[in-house]
Amino acid sequence: MNNQYQELFDSQKENQYALGNSTFRERIEKLEKLKQALEHGYKQQIREALYKDFKKPHLETDLTEIYPVISEIKFVKQRLKGWLKPQKVKSPLVLVGSSSYYVYEPKGVCLIISPWNFPLNLTFGPLVSALAAGNTVILKPSELTPHIARVMEDIITSIFKPNEVKVVQGAVAETTALLQLPFNHIFFTGSPQIGKLVMQAAAKHLTSVTLELGGKSPTIVDKSADLKEAAKRIAWGKFVNSGQICVSPDYVFVHEAIKADFIKEMKLVVSEFYGANAETSASYGRIVNAKHTGRLQKHIQNAKDLQGTVELGGHFNADENYISPTVISNLPEEATLLQEEIFGPVLPLKVFKEISEVVSYINSKPRPLALYIYSKNKSQIKYISANTRAGSMCVNTNVLQYSNHNLPFGGVNNSGIGKAHGLFGFQEFSNRKSVLKQFTRGSIELLFPPYTDLKQKLVDLTLKWF
């Protein structure tokens, strides 16, 4: 097979055992270099690149791109030694004369494919897990944020040899070529649609996959909720990064009795956050490109055509890839805003009378990456939690589950396969190898052929008592 990346792949394949045998200290040293590059060497370049890519405010870059990777490195640094130790397990009596443990060994040559919405965080975050586990890695960042992709390549080239970690730039053709190679693991973050293509390609080599996907994450606000607080958190979750967040609240279900008050609070909080016109606010970002701006404009137009009520915003400036913070209610179910993942600063609002309607609605859709409930009613929260399925859930907040490294992060079915962050990310890039050591002759020898009546009696006893 003539593959443009074969040579690179082979060099990593050859190096995988040397790298896999690296000590805890050697791995930490590399992670520390990456941390230094983010904290000091390349911080300003990262900020400028993300501003060029989609006017990401510097503070948001520090908080949502640089900080999560640094804190992931710190988390791993404190725990990696323990994770790398053989984990002893008990042995049943029939295995007398042996001991057992399992150990995390690196999977080998890994591919990380990342999206554009948090391009640094979602490329280097999984990289930290992969390196901690002792793998070689090829990174394929998104082509839609080329400035930061270039800076990431510079950072990687300054720390790693190509047979350890290498950035491959490119779009569909390049990723398709990479996907033909027999990687030991693929970690993909992106849309469910492309996730299916990745899984199909991986199936050819029975390569394991982690798929961090997206979808429509529901938010529920019931009558008992603190409306001011709920509106503030929902507005932040929906409008930070202009709604281009996999775990942002996609749509909101509000109890009909509090609809007007909730909308009033949303209007107030949006003007507090971004002033009278978000377009002139230094705290509000842009949509990544003209294609995605056009996609969101079409959603808003479709909502208007179907007599939806624009409660807030609905403005755009296509030349600037600007879409204002927007809330739209009274949408019929066929509205595209209720059918597709929005991935932008537009919040459809639905009303409900009984919580069971909400649960049925959510369960009629693919399983979401996140589910958010604003309520003070414990039994209502318990009911929703017990009768729905989601990758993660927050009560009285949103998005923040991403930043707790002690929690597994990922979806379920259509929203993803496998988990990231902390120990869970490390496990994703590791093979849990079982080891059984025989140190005396053991009971099994009593059962070796030829099978005699006495041995049959021993088996009968074993089945009955052990």
**How far from 316 is each of 12, 257, 281, 296, 357, CA to CA, in Å?**
47, 31, 14, 9, 34
Residue selected from 194, 199, 306, 458 as contacting ligand NAD according to rule CB under 6 A: 194
Catalytic hit among 72, 212, 311, 341: 212
Has 212 been annotated as catalytic?
A: yes
Strand order, beta sheet including 98-106 = 87-89, 98-106, 430-438
Q: Is 345 in the site for ligand NAD (CB under 6 A)?
A: no
Judged by beta carbon, residue 53 or residue 341, the one nearer ligand NAD is: 341
Which residue from 107, 140, 419, 421 is in contact with ligand NAD, where contact means CB under 6 A?
Answer: 140
Strand order in the sheet with 165-167: 165-167, 136-140, 109-113, 185-189, 208-212, 416-417
Does 117 participate in binding ligand NAD (rule CB under 6 A)? yes
Catalytic residue among 246, 265, 311, 428: 246
210-269 positions binding ligand NAD, by CB under 6 A:
212-214, 246
Whole-angstrom CA distances from 296 to 83, 112, 115, 314, 342 are: 44, 28, 18, 10, 8
Minimum separation from the CB atom of position 386 to ligand NAD (A): 24
* The residue to which tokens 């409900």 are assigned: 352
Q: At what angle do helices 259-274 and 227-239 cross, to 10 degrees?
A: 50
Q: Which residue is nearest to ligand NAD (CB)?
A: 214
The dihedral through the CA atoms of 425, 428, 433, 434 has a sign that is positive
Tokens of 361: 């609605």
| 341 near ligand NAD, judged by CB under 6 A | yes
Residue 315 and residue 299: Cα distance in Å, rounded? 12
Q: Determine the 3-state secondary structure of 128 from DSSP.
A: helix
Smallest gap, in angstroms, from Cβ of residue 173 to ligand NAD? 9
Q: Residue 1 or 93: which CB sits closer to ligand NAD?
A: 1
Shortest Cβ 358–ligand NAD spacing (Å): 22
Stretch that binds ligand NAD, among 156-164, 167-175, 355-363, 381-389 (CB under 6 A): 167-175
- Judged by CB under 6 A, which of 18, 89, 96, 171 binds ligand NAD? 171
CA distance 212 to 222: 29
Stretch that binds ligand NAD, among 38-46, 170-178, 251-259, 445-453 (CB under 6 A): 170-178
> Which amino acid is present at 63?
L
CB of 175 to ligand NAD, least distance (A): 3
Which burial class, exposed, middle or buried, applies to 88 when counting CB atoms under 10 A from its CB (0-12, 13-18, 19+)? exposed
Tokens 């593959």 found at: 3
Q: Give the residue, chosen from 16, 123, 135, 175, that forms a contact with ligand NAD under the rule CB under 6 A.
A: 175
| CB of 266 or CB of 399, closer to ligand NAD | 399
246 is catalytic: yes
Catalytic residue IDs: 212, 246
| Residue ranges binding ligand NAD (CB under 6 A) | 113-117, 122, 140, 142-143, 171-172, 175-176, 189-191, 194, 197, 212-214, 246, 341, 343, 369, 411, 416
